[in-house]
Every structure is written in structure tokens, then in C-alpha cells.
Amino acid sequence: MQTSSQLLTEGSVRKKLLYFAAPIFLGQLFQQLYNTADSLIVGRLVGDTALAAVTSVGPISYLIVGFFLGFSMGAGVVISRDIGAGDRRSVSRGVHTTVAMGIVATVVITLIGVFLTPSILRWMDTPENVFPEASLYLRIYFLGSAGLVFYNLFVGILRAAGDSAHPLYYLIFSSLLNVVLDICFIRFFGMGVDGAALATIISQVLSAVLVLVRLLRTTDIIRVIPSEIRFDRQKLGQIVYIGLPTALQACVIDLANMMVQAYINGFGDVAMAGIGASSKLEGFIFLPVNAFSMAISTFVAQNLGAGKKDRMREGIVFGLISAVLVVELLGACLFLFSPQMVAWFNDNPEVIYYGTLRGRICGLFFSLCGFSHVSSAVMRGIGRPIVPTVVMLSCWCAVRVLVLMTIGRYVHNILLVIWIYPITWLLSALVYVCYLLYLRRKELI
């Protein structure tokens, strides 16, 4: 059974959440360095076109990550509840079903990605001068999808058990390796975006292997035993019930973002590079929100399984307030220092202009997005995954796509595609406030 130091059902709520979220934050920080190192090094050493190629495929890579992160969260909630309830057999069945899912998913995503890369890029209206490098980068990225898939699933298992420290150790090592390989492949071996892609997938595979070794060797309740890797119908159903809505939510949001990216592509490679650089910066800013979200899902699930509703409620309030305050402070920093930050990626004045425009418009509204993310995590933790799916798909995806398909046909202005983000964040935040109040009134949280 898990040690009391790893269980989130005992001890100080604030300390447990902070100690659990801090390694997740640091781990995501280093994970974000994967793609950002590619962008920084490619933008500086290869050029504007290569930077546009790497950043323009960001929505596609986020689509893959989001899908499997959704299933990872679903598996984490199921396993967390069983750990909170002390059901060792159910935990084991959930763990091995999760691993079996990863094997199947890796094969499917690799085949689909490699063969459909050109079609995906054409659908996104990728400019001809960017297309060859974007296609090369994305195909190599898909070939290494095994590391991406298994890392997220394995880490989901560890975090479900309250262990957020070991994934951090492995990820720091592999992230540093990614930076070193980026520099070696591009500067010393004369490679371009292919070198950046190779560095990324090698590092991802290594991090997945390190987490797997931990799961094979641990004596805890979450130990992976190769001979027991198989699908359990009941556990698969529970994981799919929670994970599939979350995965589909992430996919549809990223598909909508791909449509947004297609609209941005119409302004040329300079706009693509500038807004892509700003998006990378936003990725760092939202790391604390993502960390609190993952921590809250596990915390809520474990305490719900243990029947500690008062403790669960205290954690929800603390997580929401902390995430909103932190992300708003960081958004203000982006507002003030956008030109300097975008220049880290590329010092072309036009690139800096587009990146600064997005950073200064969106930066002051990050608290709305942060509140929505943590609220979604609460819904998943209490076993209501359909709610965040409906909210996000309607408020974010449907509205964004509708605006681009109507107003966007007649208004060719970059401000339209930038302002659409804070407006849809406001919509989702308002819906979540109403629903959380409803749950509290019904004493469901």
C-alpha cells in the first residue's frame, strides 16, 4: 500500500497540494523546454522560415499530447479513487489496463501521423515556403510518438499514487539532453528542423523508459508486472468514461486551434513566427495552472474515494485561488515585457510586433483561462467529465470556429484571431462559476 506521505487524504491540505503540485510544475517546465528549445535554437541558428515551420505545427503536437493526457487524467482519477479506498486489486487492474491502452495507441498514432502529415499541413494552409520543413519536422515527431504517449500515461499512474517527484527527476535529465542534442545536431552536424525533431523524440523516449523502469521496480501498489498487462473490461470502461470526454475535449479544442492557425498562416511566415513565439511564452505561463489542475484532480479523487468531502472542498478553494492569482501575475509580466521576450526567439522587428500584439492583448485575461482549467479538473475529479467537455467545446471551440467561419471570411485582421481568445475564456469562466455554485448548493462539493 502507499505510504502516508504520498496519500493526499491526510495532513495539511495546503502543504499536500503545494508539495504535490510543485514537482508537476517543475516537470512541465522542463517538458515545455522540449519544444521551446527547438524554437529558440532553430529561430537563432536556422532562420525565420524554420522557426515558422516548427511553431506552426505546435497545434498538431498539442493535439496528440492533449488526447493522451486526457486518457492519462482519466486513468489517474480511476486509480486515485481506488487508492483512496484502499482497493489494491482494483488499482492493479487499472494500472495494467492503462499500459495496454498505451501500446495500442502508439501503433495507431504513429501510422496515422506519418501517412497523413502532408494532408494535415495542406488542410492548415501551410505556406509553400514553410511546407517542406514543417512536413519533415512533423513526420519525425510522429515517428517518436511512443515516447510521448507512454511518458504521459506512465506519469499519470505515478501521480495517481501521489508521486510527483520521480517524474520530475527523469524529465530534468531528458530535457537537458534535449537541449544538448538540439545544439549538437544543428550547430555541429549542420542539420535543420530534422535535427530539432530528432533531439525531441530521443529525449521523450528516454524519459518514458526511465518512468517505466520505476514502475517495474517499485514495490508500491502501482507496480507494473509485464505478464499482467491486459485490458480489464470494467477498468477500461471507467477510464474511457472519464478519459474519453477529456481527450475529445482536448482534441476538438486543438482542432479549433488548428483552424485558428490556418487563419494566422494567411498573414505569412513573419506573423506565424511572431504569434508562435508568443504562444510558446504562454505555454510557460500556464504551467502553474496545469500543475494545480493535475494536482486538484488527484486530490479530489483520492479524498472522494476516502469519503472526506470537507477536506476535498478546502482543496478545491485553495487550488482555484492559487492558480488564478499566479497566472494573472505572470500575465501582467508578459504584458510589460513582451517585446523583450519575443526577441529571445527572433529579433526581426515584424516578428516582435506580432508576438507583442498577442502577448499584450491576452496577457491581462489569463486569470479567466486559469479559472476554467482548474474548474475542469474539479469536474473530472468528482466524476463529472462530461461537464467540462460540453463547456469547453461550446464556449471555446464552437464560438472560435463560428467567428472565423463568419466574420473571419470578411474581416482579414490579425486582431480578430487574437481577441477571440480572451472573449471565449470569459464565456467559459462565467459558466463554471454558475455550475460550481450549483454543485455547492446541492452539497455535491
Question: What does the pLDDT look like over 267-301, one tens digit per residue?
Answer: 888 888 888 888 888 888 888 898 888 889 889 98
pLDDT (mean) for 19-40: 76
Average pLDDT of the residues of the chain: 85
CA distance 250 to 258: 12
| Cβ atoms of residues 400 and 424 within 8 Å | yes
pLDDT (mean) for 201-221: 88
Q: Three-state SS across 295-313?
A: HHHHHHHHHHHCCCHHHHH
| Cβ atoms of residues 392 and 256 within 8 Å | no
Percentage above 90 pLDDT, the chain = 24
pLDDT (mean) for 61-68: 71
Residue 113: pLDDT band (50, 70, 90) is confident
- Residue-level pLDDT at 260: 82
CA distance 400 to 390: 15
Q: For residue 356, is pLDDT > 50?
A: yes
Q: Which long-range contacts does 351-354 make (Cβ < 8 Å, 24+ apart)?
A: 351/48, 351/270, 351/273, 351/274, 351/277, 352/274, 353/274, 354/267, 354/270, 354/271, 354/273, 354/274, 354/275, 354/278, 354/414
pLDDT tens-digit series, residues 128-163: 888 888 888 888 888 888 888 888 888 888 888 888
- Residue-level pLDDT at 37: 65
User: For the whole prediction, is pTM greater than 0.85?
Assistant: no
Q: How far is CA 203 from the centre of its chain?
A: 17
Grouping H, G, I as helix, E, B as strand and the rest as coil, residue 127 is: coil
Percentage above 70 pLDDT, the chain = 95
Domain boundaries, the chain: 13-441
CA distance 85 to 76: 14
